[in-house]
Amino acid sequence: MRRLFHLLMRLYPADFRREYGEEIERAAAERGAWKEAAMDIVTTAPREHADQFLTTVRQAWRGLRRTPGFTLVALATLAAGIGLNTVIFSLVYGALFKPLPYPEPERLFVVTEATPDQQIRFALGPDFGSWRRLSRSVQIMAGYSGWSALYAGPDGAEPVEATQATPEFFTALGIRPLSGRLFDSDDDRPGARATAVVSHKFWERKLGSRPGSSIELNAAAYEVIGVLPPGFEFPGKTDVWVAFREDFASQRGKDGITLLNTLARLKPGVKPDMAATELTGIAVAGWNLPEVVGGFKNMTKGIRAQLTPLGESIGARSRTQLLMLMGGVALVLVIACVNVANLFVARAASRTREVAVRLALGAGMGRIARDVWAENLLLAAGGALLGITLARLLLRLLLKIAGDAVPRANEISIDTAVLAVTALVSLATGLVFGLSPLLFARRTPLNEALKDGARGGGDPALPRLRSTLVAAQLALSLVLLAGAGLLLRSFVALTQVNPGFDPNGLLTLQTHLAPAGFADRAHPVVLGFYRQALERLAALPGVQSVAMAPDLPVSGRFSNMAALEAEGHPFHRKLPMIGARQINPGYFDSLRIPIRYGRAFTPDDLAKSNQIVINEALARSHFGNVDVAGKRMRVLSDTAPWMTVIGVAADVRHLGLQAEPAPEVYRLYTDRDREMISEMSFALRVERNVDPKSLTGEARETLLSLGSGAGVHNFITMEDRIRGTLSQRRFQLWLLAAFSLLAVGLAAIGVYGVLSYMVTQRSHEIGVRMALGATAADIVGLFMRHAWLLALTGLAVGSAVFYWAGQAISKLLFAIKPTDPWAISGAAITLLLVATAAAALPAWRAAAMDPAAILRRNN
């Protein structure tokens, strides 16, 4: 029993045991009731711990209140660091890692296909058809694809975000309707009533929350069968879903196949690579069928299916940039911590005596550590609370500014997961910056501490520790600043890229036509509209000429893809898919795209067929040289007619400024085209000295006066269009710039603090030096040399770190290497200047001291 009693004594806090252990044991022995005494320990030990905890916290609180300046600065620094981290982490978490808001999201995958030469990024329609029929590993498979829809609303025609989806789409996601029903297998039957499912937002805003309405899309009536729950956003910001009506299986024998996004919900327990193997097998078997056209057989050689988790696929585009921001903001937090650590060290200096005396009087190191850490954790907790408040405000602001640049923005919030991480980060913060004063206290001998007096001395390790911390801060700031520099240089480089055409003085707009009736009757209406639109727009005063194409440069997409082969050049598999564009004869002239060889189209060519203009990239990839005017190409099919290349145009960066020009083929959109293009873009080349924007009203009037019910929208100058493609980069640049600014500011405060402290500490020495004839310049030099040594050490270390870490953001750069000397040296020079400025103030103060006064005071 007595042994148990001894064991149980360990339950008490050490301090209590030290103070009363012996007494308790003696009392227990005198009474001889070991069992009762043991039970007593068990019931009273928790109380003693709570007591000790409260006492410690109360002491910490009192300690902090004694130094309000320190407490406020430390709190503000921590709140900024923790707040920023919370904001960026909630962005990153919401966009990349948060489980999707669907049941069992880990079973949802996007299926794409690839050949050995090319990522297709979609699934081929025929393969989708076979998978849906044959796959055993997939429970539900759904296809979907963007659909350009014109909605005839009460205020006129307007485009809506629409998606055509196979009936399994919502079942695969596991979504239930708010009201009505979702698609079932009848909805995609040929001849079935046209049905649509709408978003909650659309239902509220456009349909006035009325049940059972019908809407008009592209001049056809759709019955609204169901409304989705609020907040459902997939894919993108879709408002209307219609059933995908397409016979995917029959496409193998034709010359056109649908590319579609494919969603698979795997059967429980099926591993994604097992499913990928199965789907690949099905696809390969499909393309070996006898009815497959020869061209497709070649193109799909080595085809394979790949599965990407749905959540990952949604966030994929922003992954690198979001992780970079996370890294950046984490650096800011570390710098903030270093600043707080620095404050603590400075504060520890004023407590050197207290700590040393307590140590000497027998207080355990653990006890002192606990007191210091209690202050830290109290501060960290306060910082976290303030930080979260700050984060809420910042996040709202950020999503307002840049909500479109972030995937799944509607799911981003400061939720439990984010708060848990913030709490962890704060705890780690408190522990980390709590270490430094302890390290320092441990090595201060009592007599040193007690000598502290006239000279304001203390441990020589103290300023050294602070200097090290500041050098570390400068190193981290350099990493951030140089990173921002790289992004800035990339951005500038991008804006200087030659897009391949002249974007100045162009007004662009889009039309959306949806005449009623079947394609063969509607077609002439559409063609008539385009002919008239071109004529009337070109006749507007101030307009020189007009370009027309389904997609204008930098739109980032091709409305058509084709697989072409060059005559006399055996088919080679590189880049079989080529962007194809139907244009008007004035296209090259209006956009000022130079023709390198041969000629551009003329209006006379409208009567001829089988003529094409190709770009230099296509000439190079398919013929191996550029001057190929007069050569022939055809669609990859033995029966397709040959087309003559009448000219080779300069490469245009259709896919955005950062993308290398892709091979492209142009042909005229003529009356004989079978394909009806319902969405068209126009670019008006205005005369010099005319502001393109000023033509917006007239152009709109002109097009609406043609009276065909066309939707006319997106009036924007080409320059603004290009600016728009850079918005995401601008966003990340601004954020990183803000972070580095904060970092540099914190580092400057750090340098200033260390130097000020040093000046106070060495005032006696300064007085002696000046009395012995040192000039003000000597004194300034004394301190500046120290500051520069500090800065150079920090910058050298920072450069080394950056050299190693810069690779991580190389994906975000354009035309700039991560080791770009300008970015590093620019950042280094900036920091050197900042450090100089921050050190100059205390140095001058030192030089301005009156030596006589100092010496009188100190002796």
> Would you count residue 859 as binding other proteins (CB under 8 A)?
no
Q: Does 48 bind other proteins (CB under 8 A)?
A: yes
51/312 with CB nearer other proteins:
51
Residue 45 touches other proteins, criterion: CB under 8 A: yes
Minimum CB separation of residue 10 from other proteins in Å reads 13
Tell me if 46 contacts other proteins by CB under 8 A: no
DSSP H or E stretch at residue 792: helix 776-805
Near other proteins by CB under 8 A: residue from 4, 7, 39, 365: 39
SS3 472: helix
Query: Binding of other proteins at residue 19 (CB under 8 A)?
Result: yes
Select from 35-43, 410-418, 589-597, 699-707 the region that touches other proteins (CB under 8 A): 35-43
Q: How far is CA 517 from CA 218, 367, 524, 526, in A?
A: 10, 86, 12, 12
Which is nearer to other proteins, 24 or 476 (by Cβ)? Answer: 24
Inter-residue contact 659 to 624 (CB < 8 Å)? no
d(CA 339, CA 167): 58
Of the candidates 28, 84, 242, 345, which one interacts with other proteins according to CB under 8 A? 28
CA–CA–CA angle 344, 345, 346 (5° rounding): 90
- Residue 57 CB, nearest approach to other proteins (Å): 12
The window from 37-45, 187-195, 600-608, 791-799 that contacts other proteins (CB under 8 A) reads 37-45
Q: Are 787 and 751 in contact (CB under 8 A)?
A: yes
Give the other-Cβ count within 10 Å of 63's Cβ: 18
Rounded least distance, CB 374 to other proteins, Å: 17
**Which of 194, 213, 216 lies closest to 204 in space, CA to CA?**
213
Task: Break the chain down into helix, strand, coil percent, rounded to 5.
Answer: 55, 15, 30
Q: Which one of 30-38, 578-586, 616-624, 725-733 is the stretch in contact with other proteins (CB under 8 A)? A: 30-38
Q: Which residue's CB is nearer to other proteins, number 43 or number 416?
A: 43
Among 2, 6, 26, 811, binds other proteins (CB under 8 A): 26
CB of 372 to other proteins, least distance (A): 22
Torsion angle (degrees, nearest 10) of CA 780, 785, 791, 794 = -150
- Are the beta carbons of 564 and 635 closer than 8 angstroms? yes
Name the one residue in this structure whose structure tokens are 């007004």: 507
Q: Is the peptide bond before 103 cis (omega within 30 degrees of 0)?
A: no
Question: Are the beta carbons of 448 and 422 closer than 8 angstroms?
Answer: no
Instruction: Verify binding: residue 2, other proteins, rule CB under 8 A.
Output: no
Options 43-51, 233-241, 459-467, 675-683: segment touching other proteins (CB under 8 A): 43-51
| Cα–Cα dist 102/100, whole Å | 6
**747 near 831, Cβ under 8 Å?**
yes
Query: Do the Cβ atoms of 167 and 188 come closer than 8 Å?
Result: yes
- If the CB atoms of residues 46 and 403 are measured against other proteins, the closer one turns out to be 46
- How far apart CA 494 and CA 512 sit, in angstroms, is 32
Residue 169 touching other proteins (CB under 8 A)? no
Region from 47-55, 493-501, 658-666, 670-678 binding other proteins, contact rule CB under 8 A: 47-55
Q: Do 703 and 658 meet the contact criterion of CB atoms below 8 Å apart?
A: no
Asked if 520 is part of the footprint of other proteins (rule: CB under 8 A), the reply reads no
Shortest Å distance, C-beta 488 to other proteins:
57
How many residues comprise the chain?
A: 859
- Please identify, among the stretches 16-24, 145-153, 164-172, 476-484, the one whose residues bind other proteins according to the rule CB under 8 A: 16-24
Shortest distance (Å) from residue 796 CB to other proteins: 54
374 binds other proteins, rule: CB under 8 A: no
Query: DSSP string spanning 328-395?
Result: HHHHHHHHHHHHHHHHHHHHHHHTHHHHHHHHHTT--HHHHHHHHHHHHHHHHHHHHHHHHHHHHHHH
- Of residues 50 through 69, those in contact with other proteins by CB under 8 A are 51
Find the binder of other proteins among 12, 89, 128, 170 (CB under 8 A).
12
Looking only at residues 754 through 783 of this chain, which bind other proteins when binding is defined by CB under 8 A?
none
Angle at 43 between CA 38 and CA 46, to 5 degrees: 120
Stretch that binds other proteins, among 38-46, 236-244, 362-370, 838-846 (CB under 8 A): 38-46
Residue whose token pair is 């005071």: 857
User: What is the closest distance, in whole angstroms, from the C-beta atom of residue 18 to other proteins in the complex?
Assistant: 12
- Taking CB under 8 A as the binding criterion, the range among 19-27, 492-500, 560-568, 804-812 that sits at the site for other proteins is 19-27
| Contacting residue, 14, 33, 690, 801, with other proteins by CB under 8 A | 33
**CB closer to other proteins out of 52 and 298:** 52
- Residue 191 DSSP code: T
Which residue, 25 or 411, has its beta carbon nearer to other proteins? 25
**Residues in a beta bridge with 549:** 681
Q: Which residues pair with 582 in a beta bridge?
A: 667
Q: How many residues form the binding site for other proteins (CB under 8 A)?
A: 24
Given the complex with other proteins, which of 30 and 520 has the nearer CB atom?
Answer: 30
Smaller CB distance to other proteins: residue 25 or 567?
A: 25
The binding site for other proteins (CB under 8 A) comprises: 12, 16, 19-20, 23-28, 30-31, 33, 36-37, 39-41, 43-45, 47-48, 51
